[in-house]
Structures are given as structure tokens and as C-alpha cells.
Amino acid sequence: MAAKAWSGVFNEATDRRVEHFTESISFDRRLYAHDIAGSIAHAQMLVHVGLMTPDECRQIESALADIQSQIESGDFPYSTELEDIHLHIERALIDRLGDTGRKLHTARSRNDQVATDLRLWCRESIDRLDAALLDLQYAFVHRCDADRDCILPGYTHLQRAQPVLAPHYWLAYCEKLQRDRQRLADCRRRVNVLPLGAAALAGTTLPIDRDHVAKSLGFVDPQQAPQVAANSLDATSDRDFALEFAFVLALIAEHLSTWAEEWILWSTSEFNFLRLPQAFCTGSSIMPQKVNPDVLELTRGKTARVIGNLQALLVLVKGLPLAYNRDLQEDKPRLFDSFDTVLACVEIAAPLVAGAQLNRPAIAERLDRGHLDATTLMEELIRCGVPQRTAHEIVGRLVRQALDHNLRLSDLP
Ligand code: ARG
């Protein structure tokens, strides 16, 4: 059995059941590249301040590169005994380099290490999601030319209200997604602050250079000034950056869910406004005629877990005293799940938006009913000098007459 990284003070081995209960390697292994990047920056800083020789650092860098390719080729051995990704990589380093590997954790704790890794992961994930949202915006924008002369009924209370151009609908979604992207960018600024150097909770007596690490890991502002967490208790214990990301993810999911709901309605025989691309629909095993909008339904359905994840994270941190508490390990499954879910929804939405077709004849028929021209008629009366309240009353009475005789407004003399 491998000795624990903390074995010095212990006389007893860890119970197997505890190892299974406390492990996070099953889900934090996806932080391997961020952990290695953080370790390389840390080692280079240790050279810079004289706590490590350049040769030791070179050995560490090449061993870490080797470990990274072993992980990426699928040959890396994982074991619950080694708890998490940080201990796995460190152990693999020590196995390769002995005492030189044992120097890497100088002036560092897993508490500032895990906060750094998670911030690096959030930053990268925000950038990936932003690119996917931009693609989805393009999908909506590209529809605008083809649909530019298509007039749709606009709804309030899901009752026909006023006519609007189809691109007006598409651009409404672009605006929502634009604000989501702004929120991501804003969240990224608070994510992009270096916790490393805070050590376990109180910093270190060793002469480290945090700005050096911040610059090599890109924890910098737009003017390239290093962004370093000011308080070590705060830096190791707070996950508000992760919660903020989870919140932005929940809002994106909400936006996609309302769009999915609308398009599910529009693709029913009752509405019949929209033909979804068949490649994005599924059939029924018993009813031969069915073409179901499962992708849209799952987009709506998956929103539930993204909201649930945010709730779980909010509750997770609500009672934690300073500084690091092991509870925080529970942040990752929820955050990872929200990101994976929302990214998948955004990525599948783009081709669906591009491939759907408006059913113009059915839409035109619907425009003819519901007195969508009433507001415009009222505004024409206002233009002729009729006070708004009076014009509203007059047109209201006209609509009443049309309804009573089953006519359109334009049928009235
Ligand atoms: N796996 C832990 C986490 O995700 C890493 C930090 C462990 N620190 C500790 N003091 N046990 O939070």
C-alpha cells in the first residue's frame, strides 16, 4: 500500500471505507491539465526565488509532461488510496524523480492548489461556452436574411397580439445570449485571480513571488497586471466564483428552456409554424406517425438539474466557517455537471436553429385571425387626431362587431 502524503503523524492506516467515502479522484481527474500547469508555474517561481535549482525544475517539468501524456493516453493508474488528482500527480512525480519530486509541494497546500485548479478550469470553460454561445447567435442571425419577409404572430399571454417579423424573434434570442455572454465575461474577471501562495490558510514563511506565478498562469487584468488574492483565509475557503459561474449557467439554461418550449409549441400540429429538421427529432416505437421534438424537450428538461446544481452549491457553502472545509470538495460534481449540461444544450441548439423551416402558408393563415391589426388601426386613428383612449374604445367596439359576425376587421365596411 502506498504511504499517505500525511502519514508522518498517523499510527493507523486509513480504513478502506474512509478512502472510498472521501475520494474525489473519480470526478476531479478532469482537472489534471490545470493541476500540471499550476505545478509548472509554481516550480518555475521556486527557481526564481532560489528555493529550487533550474535543473530540478527542468526535471519536474519533463516528468509532469510525461505524466500528462500518460494520463491522456489512458495509461495512468488511478486509485482511491491516493484520494484526489493532486496527490495522484504528485505521487507519480515522486515515483519518477524521488527527492526532487518531493520538493514540488514547497510553499503550497492542496487548499490553495485546488482553488487554483478550479479557477483555471472555470476560466477555460467560460471561454469554451462563450464560443459556443457565439455560434448559436450566428445561427439565429443567419436565419434573418432568409426569413426577412416572413411575418409571424407575436404573442402575449400566449394569445395572438401583434404581427412581428420573424427576424425580430430571432434577434430577441441573440440579445438574451449577448447578456449571457456579458455575464460570463464579468464572472471571468472575478474567476481570474490567483489563490496560490495562500497555502493551507495562512500563507507561508518562505519567500515566494506570487506575481510571478500569476503572470505565468495568465491571472492578469487587461493591462497585464497580476491579479492575486489579497487574503489567504478568503482565497482558500471561498467558492463564490464557482457559484457565480453556476448561476450564469442556470440563466443560460433558462433562456434555452424558454426557446425550447416555444419551438415545441410551434412544431405541434396545433400551431404548425415550424418544421424541425428530422435529423434532430426522434420517433415513437408504437405510433408510426410520430416525429417528436426530443432535443428541445431535453433542453427544457435538463434545465431542472442545472437549477438544482446551483441550489446545491448555495446550500453547500452557507454554513462554513473560515477557512478550508472538506465540504468544498462537493463543489466539483455539481459545477462540472452544470457546465457539461449547458454546453451540450448550446452546442446542439445551433444546428437545430439553422435547420428548422418556417411553414409560411400555415403562418399566413393564422395572421388572418385574431385581429392582430387592431393596434395598428388604433394608431392610425391616433395619427388622425383621435385621443388614444377614444381610439382604443372605437377599435374595441369594431373588434366586438367583427367577433359577433365572425368577420376580420378588414371585412368591415
Ligand atoms: N480534494 C480536495 C477538494 O476537492 C482537495 C483539497 C484537500 N485538502 C484537504 N485539506 N484535505 O477540495
CA neighbours closer than 13 Å in the CB half-sphere of residue 105? 19
CA–CA separation, 185 and 183 (whole Å): 5
- Cα 219 to averaged position of ligand 1 atoms, centre (Å): 22
- What average pLDDT does the segment 71-100 reach? 98
Mean pLDDT value across the chain = 96
pLDDT band at 126 (very low <50, low <70, confident <90, very high): very high
Decide if pLDDT at 395 tops 60.
Answer: yes
- Cα 211 to averaged position of ligand 1 atoms, centre (Å): 24
Ligand 1 near 389 CB (within 6 A): no
Ligand 1 near 116 CB (within 6 A): no
Ligand 1 near 114 CB (within 6 A): yes
Ligand 1 near 113 CB (within 6 A): no
Q: How far is CA 275 from CA 137, 140, 161, 354, in A?
A: 20, 16, 23, 12
pLDDT 10s digits, 249-278: 999 999 999 999 999 999 999 999 999 999
Question: What is the reported pLDDT for 93?
Answer: 98
Decide if pLDDT at 201 tops 70.
Answer: yes
- What average pLDDT does the segment 384-389 reach? 97
- Cα 107 to averaged position of ligand 1 atoms, centre (Å): 16
pLDDT band at 342 (very low <50, low <70, confident <90, very high): very high
pLDDT band at 285 (very low <50, low <70, confident <90, very high): confident
Question: Hey, is 166 helix, strand or coil?
Answer: helix
Query: Which residue stretches of 99-239 are H helix?
Result: 110-146, 166-191, 210-216, 232-237
Please identify, by atom number, the ligand 1 atom nearest to the C-alpha of residue 200.
Answer: 10
Strands 159-165 and 151-156: antiparallel
Decide if pLDDT at 1 tops 70.
Answer: no
Contact in structure between 208 and 196 (CB atoms under 8 Å): no
pLDDT band at 4 (very low <50, low <70, confident <90, very high): confident
Please identify, by atom number, the ligand 1 atom nearest to the C-alpha of residue 84.
Answer: 1
pLDDT 10s digits, 162-186: 999 999 999 999 999 999 999 999 9
Q: How far is CA 155 from CA 152, 158, 264, 276, 371, in A?
A: 9, 5, 15, 21, 12
The residue from 7, 26, 284, 410 that is catalytic is: 284
* Catalytic status, residue 157: yes
Question: What is the reported pLDDT for 197?
Answer: 98
C-alpha cell at 252: 443560460
Decide if pLDDT at 2 tops 80.
Answer: no
Burial letters 50-88, b for 16+ CB under 10 A, else e: ebbeeebbebbeebbeebbeebeeeebeeebbbbbbbbb
Distance between the two ends of the chain, CA-based, in angstroms?
Answer: 94
Question: What is the reported pLDDT for 306?
Answer: 98
Give pTM, 2 decimals. 0.95
* Catalytic status, residue 26: no
- What average pLDDT does the segment 370-383 reach? 94
CA–CA separation, 325 and 222 (whole Å): 33
Ligand 1 near 84 CB (within 6 A): yes
pLDDT band at 370 (very low <50, low <70, confident <90, very high): confident
pLDDT 10s digits, 8-57: 899 999 999 999 999 999 999 999 999 999 999 999 999 999 999 999 99
DSSP 205-237: SS---HHHHHHHTT-B-TT--B-B-S-HHHHHH
The residue from 157, 269, 285, 405 that is catalytic is: 157
Q: What is the DSSP letter of 282?
A: B
CA–CA separation, 257 and 168 (whole Å): 19
- What average pLDDT does the segment 129-147 reach? 97
Q: Which residues contact 128 (CB under 8 A, 6 or more apart)?
A: 343
Q: Fill in the amino acid letter for 394.
A: I
Question: What is the reported pLDDT for 8?
Answer: 87
Question: What is the reported pLDDT for 181?
Answer: 98
Question: Hey, is 358 helix, strand or coil?
Answer: strand
Virtual torsion, Cα 295, 301, 302, 307, nearest 10 deg:
150
Question: Hey, is 181 helix, strand or coil?
Answer: helix
- Cα 1 to averaged position of ligand 1 atoms, centre (Å): 21
Ligand 1 near 326 CB (within 6 A): yes
